[in-house]
Structure 1
Amino acid sequence: MKKNQPNTAWERLTDKEINDAYNFCNGYKHFLNIAKTEREATEYIVNEALSAGFKRIEEMNSIEAGQKILVEQKGKVAALIVVGEEPIYNGLNIIASHTDSPRLDLKPRPMYEDDGLAFFKTHYYGGIKKYHWLAIPLALHGVVIKKDGSCIKINIGESEEDITFTIADLLPHLAKDQMEKKMSEAISGEGLNALIGTRYNKDNGDKSIKAYLKEILKSEYNIEEDDFTSAELQLVPALKAKDLGFDRSMVAGYGQDDRVSAYCSLKAILETDKPPKTAMCLFVDKEEIGSMGNTGLQSLLIENITAELLHLDGNDSYHVLRNTLMKSYALSADVNAAVDPNYPEVFEKMNNSSLSKGVVLTKYTGSRGKSVSNDANPEYVAKIRNLFDSNNIEWQVGELGKVDIGGGGTVAQYIAYYGIEVVDCGVAILGMHSPFEIASKADIYMSYKAYKAFFKDL
């Protein structure tokens, strides 16, 4: 049966492939549970790469086919490179995903108390529905950098016996006015304050709750109040990734946008040996806020890493660097929205992606009139179609909702800036940007197979 048909991938997978998909997702769920921030994801990726024989680029003096190279920057960006048999200047095969997800960041001065309650003030990161973050258990992840440069890693609220945090919702008995507001206005950004304590220390005579919490932070975590200024702390859902459905055919969990692409591409590059063209797997930050900053793909990250590879290969020509990038191919590995029949008014079913119909090829993203979209060239899309069909990969096409409803962007446009041929390719997600996103195990496995084929056969 031809690919891109409307029936589900489950109908065409063999029993072995179904079993392989389920087993693959066991490792994926573990990754989701231990890598809830971009720093944690990067740490996991780096450790996996080193265990698989990758060497840090700082240790390299030259380039030869089959070498496996690791680049890590600022604890938030990683690149895994497998040198191909062709010269690097013939171009790279690049897969880029992002490891940041919507969350609640602590403000630089977060602690306060009011009416006998102590709170953390937050600033939400990325596109969220604010009401999603009320009345759920929250965990605190991140780092605190002391004035002397030392780093304190924070991970509070994940184990069963650990404490938790939450943002209390207004009881329905008093919420008449709130529930008459538009959803976007019912909860304010400044109202997303997480409850952190109610007691004061009777022994020191200070009846301030905040003072007692400062004592706890100092004694248990070596954190002073001023240290929050140089901290990167995130409140994330304290929920474990789990199998969903009686048939266990789905994975539900936080941060699948876009850690599903990160995990699948990581596994693909770890299993790649001496490909025809040099393979590069990029894991980047800040996509959810426009890929800004020096860890996002609007920086010179791709150019700098490619320049370093060419330098190790004895070529420092800027002209060669530009041509190397122009000859490269890329997949912007990112998720798309799955059709939800509970909300038929926002989807165009002929062209929107669905759960369990394979990995999604998204020719263009953007909003309404394809604003801020890459819009991949059809010649390149044809190459990818042929690649997937030749490797028995189940795939589908996708758009992000009806034309006039909304839309969104990916890192594809920043990759295309260098003249690289690029198309979006990833998993369809239900409940995207919610604290508990849903993906099909069939699609996850097909994404992994697609990325592996891209490195091996394109």
Structure 2
Amino acid sequence: MSKERKGYEAKNAWLEMGEDEREEVFAFNRGYADFLTENKTEREFAGASIEKLRKAGFKNIDEYKELKTGDKVYMVNRSRALMAAVIGQKDLQEGLKIVGSHIDSPRLDLKPNPLYEDGELAMFKTHYYGGVKKYQWVTMPLALHGVVVKEDGSEIELKIGEKEDDPIFFISDVLPHLGKKQMEKKMSEGITGEKLNVVIGSIPVNDEDTKEKVKTALLDYLEKEYDITGEDFVSADLQIVPAFKTRDAGFDRGLLAGYGHDDRVCSYTALEAVLDINDPKYTAVVLLMDREEVGSMGSTGMQSHFFEDQVAEMVNLYYDNYSELLLRRVLQNSKVLSADVNAAYDPDFAEVYAEHNSAYLGKGVVISKYTGSRGKSGASEAGAEFMGEVRSLFNGAGVYWQIAELGKVDEGGGGTIAQFLANYNMDVVDCGPAVMSMHSPYEVVSKADVYHTYLGYSVFLEK
């Protein structure tokens, strides 16, 4: 596969694909689309990933008494984050090859006490999670996903709104006939967080002595159908997500529209890459982390000690005599692709994109030397040496790639988990596909970019 470059200008990947490669691209994306449709929360994504890992011969680290070349291992953190590794030919002290992504996406979480009645409607109160444009979440079909933990510790899993015969839920908006004052507000104020209330029922219980008849009817229904009481919401992780399937977009089907491309497109391609590797040069590691959309804080986020603790477990099982020095050597000699997406150039909003430094749909995986905002605030930055190494790997393997920043310098920006991995003195660079309408309920990616992201992660982990 030949690629001619002029400066940093990348060619459209579709232009040089033969029919066989196009079919590979479309086949790979069919698998991705199905996986994304089925797994819309971090719990679901982690659970489905573990199933794939076990089928491919990976074992939980608790099942090993020692680790040697060729062993395949995974570790789980509270059902919402995980790490998988294939032990490589070289000694662990020579470092790991890591592809790190996150599996959480912007959404609406139910509040701890969500159920109430108003206007003879039963409603759920929500608290939005991550950077959302609140107005995008109204008047669309929504689904309820998550888990309820009973007082006795038993768990009830819910996924309502995805099947054809399931009910869906929705958030209302004021009609334009009465929306004069709303239309005069700034876009950010037209729908506020406290108005993201989900309509869930309308039929009252037939009891004159009951004050909140619809709420009571809903509580009766939940207890009868799911064994869920009002108090059970206190110990529940329940999320409101779009009730959309991931679908082909455009007459030519070159694009893929779906909920949660940021950052499950990187997580899925990284997972597939590590599943396909049997004999890597360095130990190949894939991280699927939680909580990135809210700063990577919390026990399942990248700022927790989960990653470091699991590498310590690997070091302990690999060497006869564990030491803190060994662990530090493994970490500081490691190299990382921080697998996260970049913003795809949108011609309707061209004014926010940086000329010559924007990512385009169909031009391959995006390498971002740094992220952050304005004066590179809140980000790590890859050195020229590591940039050269990644560039050489991709060119040698025929991976289509492009270089980009996240918009114009003074327009804003964003961060990834790169900075937290860089704190271990590792070489880190951000690398993932471009996404159009990022953080919306229905994001768009190029199928060519998805496939070449997978190829890029594969060659990085294997070499």
Correspondence for 2:124:
120
Instruction: Establish whether residue 371 from structure 1 lines up as the match of residue 373 from structure 2.
Output: no
Correspondence for 1:286:
291
Answer yes or no: is the 8 Å Cα contact 2:249–2:257 preserved in 1.
yes
Give the superposition deviation at 1:255. 0.3
In structure 1, distance between residues paired with 2:92 and 2:225: 51
Correspondence for 1:233:
238
Give the superposition deviation at 1:14. 2.2
Correspondence for 1:248:
253
3-state SS, counterpart of residue 342 of structure 1:
helix
Query: What does the per-residue CA deviation read over 1:418-451, in whole Å, with 9 as the maximum and x for residues that have no partner?
Result: 0110000001000000011000000000000000
Q: Which letter does structure 2 place at the counterpart of 1:342?
A: D
| Aligned counterpart in structure 1 of residue 439 of structure 2, from 433, 437, 449 | 433
Correspondence for 2:135:
131
Q: Which letter does structure 2 place at the counterpart of 1:221?
A: Y
Query: What does the per-residue CA deviation read over 1:80-122, in whole Å, with 9 as the maximum and x for residues that have no partner?
Result: 1100011112110000110000000000000111111111000
Answer yes or no: is the 8 Å Cα contact 1:144–1:233 preserved in 2.
yes
3-state SS, counterpart of residue 347 of structure 2:
coil
CA gap 1:181/1:204 in 2 versus in 1, 3 angstroms: closer
1:70-109 correspondence runs (5 A):
70-109=74-113
Answer yes or no: is the 8 Å Cα contact 1:71–1:78 preserved in 2.
yes
In structure 2, distance between residues paired with 1:304 and 1:315: 17
Give the superposition deviation at 1:2. 2.8
Correspondence for 2:265:
260
CA gap 1:315/1:426 in 2 versus in 1, 3 angstroms: farther
Give the superposition deviation at 1:205. 5.2
1:282-431 correspondence runs (5 A):
282-313=287-318, 314-431=320-437
In structure 1, distance between residues paired with 2:119 and 2:406: 44
Q: Which letter does structure 1 place at the counterpart of 2:462?
A: K
In structure 1, distance between residues paired with 2:371 and 2:356: 16
Answer yes or no: is the 8 Å Cα contact 2:280–2:462 preserved in 1.
yes
Query: What does the per-residue CA deviation read over 1:285-307, in whole Å, with 9 as the maximum and x for residues that have no partner?
Result: 00000000010001112211110
In structure 1, distance between residues paired with 2:93 and 2:208: 68
In structure 1, distance between residues paired with 2:77 and 2:445: 30
Correspondence for 1:189:
193
In structure 2, distance between residues paired with 1:85 and 1:7: 36
TM-score w.r.t. length of structure 1:
0.98
Answer yes or no: is the 8 Å Cα contact 1:327–1:420 preserved in 2.
yes
Answer yes or no: is the 8 Å Cα contact 2:77–2:306 preserved in 1.
no
In structure 1, distance between residues paired with 2:214 and 2:322: 60
In structure 1, distance between residues paired with 2:92 and 2:65: 15
Correspondence for 2:165:
161
- What is the identity percentage for the equivalent residue pairs of Structure 1 and Structure 2? 49
Q: Which letter does structure 2 place at the counterpart of 1:260?
A: V
Instruction: Establish whether residue 455 from structure 1 lines up as the match of residue 461 from structure 2.
Output: yes
Give the superposition deviation at 1:7. 3.1
Answer yes or no: is the 8 Å Cα contact 1:101–1:288 preserved in 2.
yes
Give the superposition deviation at 1:337. 0.2
Correspondence for 1:58:
62
Give the superposition deviation at 1:203. 5.8
Correspondence for 1:142:
146
After the TM superposition, which parts of structure 1 deviate over 2 Å for at least 4 consecutive aligned residues? 1-7, 203-207
Give the superposition deviation at 1:375. 1.1
RMSD over equivalenced CA pairs, Å: 1.0
Answer yes or no: is the 8 Å Cα contact 1:336–1:429 preserved in 2.
yes
3-state SS, counterpart of residue 239 of structure 1:
coil
CA gap 1:171/1:408 in 2 versus in 1, 3 angstroms: same
3-state SS, counterpart of residue 58 of structure 1:
helix
| Aligned counterpart in structure 1 of residue 216 of structure 2, from 211, 215, 222 | 211
In structure 2, distance between residues paired with 1:440 and 1:361: 16
3-state SS, counterpart of residue 49 of structure 1:
helix
In structure 1, distance between residues paired with 2:26 and 2:270: 17
Q: Which letter does structure 2 place at the counterpart of 1:30?
A: D
In structure 2, distance between residues paired with 1:415 and 1:298: 9
CA gap 1:86/1:6 in 2 versus in 1, 3 angstroms: closer
In structure 1, distance between residues paired with 2:296 and 2:275: 26
Q: Which letter does structure 2 place at the counterpart of 1:316?
A: Y
In structure 1, distance between residues paired with 2:203 and 2:209: 13
Answer yes or no: is the 8 Å Cα contact 1:339–1:349 preserved in 2.
no
TM-score w.r.t. length of structure 2:
0.97
In structure 1, distance between residues paired with 2:452 and 2:153: 43
Instruction: Establish whether residue 41 from structure 1 lines up as the match of residue 45 from structure 2.
Output: yes
Q: Which letter does structure 2 place at the counterpart of 1:351?
A: N
Give the superposition deviation at 1:344. 1.0
3-state SS, counterpart of residue 25 of structure 2:
helix
Give the superposition deviation at 1:22. 0.4
3-state SS, counterpart of residue 352 of structure 1:
coil
Correspondence for 2:4:
2
Answer yes or no: is the 8 Å Cα contact 1:251–1:441 preserved in 2.
yes
In structure 1, distance between residues paired with 2:198 and 2:232: 19
3-state SS, counterpart of residue 114 of structure 2:
strand
| Aligned counterpart in structure 2 of residue 446 of structure 1, from 452, 456, 461 | 452
Query: What does the per-residue CA deviation read over 1:182-209, in whole Å, with 9 as the maximum and x for residues that have no partner?
Result: 1111111000000011111216853511
Q: Which runs of 5+ in 2 are unaligned?
A: none
Query: What does the per-residue CA deviation read over 1:260-309, in whole Å, with 9 as the maximum and x for residues that have no partner?
Result: 00110111000001211000111000000000001000111221111000
Correspondence for 1:224:
229
State the number of aligned residues. Answer: 457
